[in-house]
Amino acid sequence: MKNYELMVIFTPVLSEDDFKAAQKKFVDFINENGGQVTHENPWGLRSLAYPIQKKTTGMYVVLEFSAPSDLNEKLKIQLNRDENVLRYMVTSLDKYAVEYNAKKRGALNAEPKTTEA
């Protein structure tokens, strides 16, 4: 199984519940087809670099997962069929990228240390 990162930009007209449901739809799809989602990172509403379908903002989500390579084609078909998806990008991660992402998540989750004077 290889490691991948999926970034999806959903249309900004989705409500918060619809955004979570769309996110859950793709997480469930990955899990049902032999993959395993290791990390979810919903970024929320962000500005786009250029207008897509006359929209200047989008709802971003980043999923890190491990899966067999044949899952990518099935996932791309599902992403292309969904009318709420503006853009998506699947990136293959090597062992260094996986290690870096894990360290980055650990640093973000760590408690800030206070020093006594």
Q: Helix or strand or coil: residue 20?
A: helix
pLDDT tops 70 at residue 114: no
Single-letter amino acid code for the residue at 25: K
The pLDDT score that the predictor gives to residue 108 is 67
Q: Which residues partner with 85 through β-bridges?
A: 10
15-39 pLDDT, tens digit each: 999 999 999 999 999 999 999 999 9
Q: Can you list the domains of the chain with their CATH numbers? A: 2-109 (3.30.70.60)
The reported pTM is 0.83
Contact between residue 6 and residue 63 where contact means Cβ atoms under 8 Å apart: yes
Mean predicted confidence (pLDDT) in 59-85: 92
The DSSP code sequence of 27-66 is HHHHHHTT-EEEEEEEEEEEEEEEEETTEEEEEEEEEEEE
